[in-house]
Amino acid sequence: TTSYVYLAEVSGSAAAPINPGKGGASSSPAFSQDGSKIAYLQMDAPAYEADRNRIKIYSVANQTTVDVAEGWDRSPSHVDWVDDATLLVTYNEWGRNKLAKVDIATGAITPLVSKHSVGSVRRLEGTDTLLIDYSGFDLPTDLYAVSLNSSAEPKRVTNLNPEITKEMLSPAEDLEFVGADNATIHGFILHPPNFDPEKKYPLAYVIHGGPQSSFLDAWSTRWNLNIFASAGFVTVAMDPQGSTGYGQNFTDAIRNQWGGRPYESLMKSLDQLLDSRPYIDDNRMAALGASYGGYMINWINGHTDRFKALVNHDGMFSTISTYYSTEELYFPETEFEGVPFDEKARENYERWSPERHVAKWKTPTLVIHSEKDYRLVVSEGLSTFTALRRQGVPSRLLYFPDENHWVLKPANSLRWHQEVIGWIKKWTDESHEDKREPSRL
């Protein structure tokens, strides 16, 4: 992941890095207004895409670099200048992508937007106004104006989706439970339209990919939690160990623990959820996930039968076969602390491989995979489907020949949603009789 920020002649005749060395990824370089300094973000650890982004300022004249807000345990994704004394950053914190000012001298953080999520940020020239794209679970993306001098609510500038009204969408409620190692596990819950707490509802338990990412209170056309809520499901999405926005130690806690702490936290959170929300029918639960979330679906299938249905999108079947087929070799080498042809590291790969627990699989599973996925190649999905079908576990394969790790084309997205919602509704329907085929060798 090592990358550099370069200073180059406009003519292209010369270019030199301002941050040479063996560090990790660099990003978001921005000149100060007078051109004398460059602010940028720097990860320290190479071969690790989820290291904390640290804020750096480089002096062009002196060729020296200083750290800003070094003790701040958050990982900004964008940095820019407000003035000579102040920077502007966006960063993930507890399920929101926030916007804040950073005092260069003291490192003090002054939030400007802490609700929902901020995407791109542009300052309107000659003013103290920022133009941002801004969204939430119940707020489709639009442009908003924000003042640099106050934390007032963002003011809407555009209304790109007037046909989508607040009444059609469920707001998110924050959840906090106690997970593995007594860690606080944060997440969100959304309720179906016309929700009545006196009734019983099925549960859609959604698990994010990454694994170093998180559920953000933001709008998306992929894995939009309101889709599941609008289909009649109480929808819950938790951020177990490995998730971002909760400090670097929490993010790092998944390393060589893929089926360990995160699985324990997800199950403990589910237990506490059911204890506190009697309207959730614990006999009508489905779990869904993509990428690492798909890995976790396979892991769940080998470790519990509490769910009536599972959905695995572009997930991992075998940690070892994934190593030899992925385009991102540094990733498993970091996560499992070595290569699978090293005896010690091989134990890590085998310990956390869902394939080792295939004989215990029994939950009906929808398997989704795409031909152009080079992160987790299509054979991972085909292997999952074969393992299910060969044992007589009810299963269905949805294959996209023209998609990658994500399903992006509109017609394919429609089919994806039809299949996913149809599958979890079928197996969690109150009138559905569970006719699983008997296991066979």
Q: Which residues are catalytic?
A: 291, 373, 405
Q: How far apart are CA 286 and CA 146, in angstroms?
A: 40
Largest CA distance in the chain: 74
- CA distances 200 to 33, 160, 277, Å, are 58, 36, 10
Q: How far apart are CA 121 and CA 131, in angstroms?
A: 6
Give the amino acid at 272: Q
Element housing 272 (H / E): helix 261-276
Q: How far apart are CA 136 and CA 139, in angstroms?
A: 4
Q: How far apart are CA 104 and CA 65, in angstroms?
A: 13
Gap between the terminal Cα atoms of the chain: 44
The encoded tokens of residue 376 equal 């987790």
- CA distances 300 to 208, 236, 242, 354, 365, Å, are 14, 16, 17, 9, 11
Cis ω on the peptide bond leading into residue 193 (within 30° of 0)? no
| Tally of residues, the chain | 441
Question: Would you put residue 280 in left (φ > 0), alpha (ψ -120 to 50) or beta?
Answer: beta
Angle at which helix 292-301 crosses helix 261-276, to 10 degrees, equals: 80
The encoded tokens of residue 346 equal 């091989």
- Classified as helix, coil or strand, 185 is strand
- Classified as helix, coil or strand, 203 is strand
DSSP assignment of 168-211 equals: GSPPPEEEEEE-GGG-EEEEEEE--TT--TTS-EEEEEEE-SSS
Q: How far apart are CA 294 and CA 89, in angstroms?
A: 32
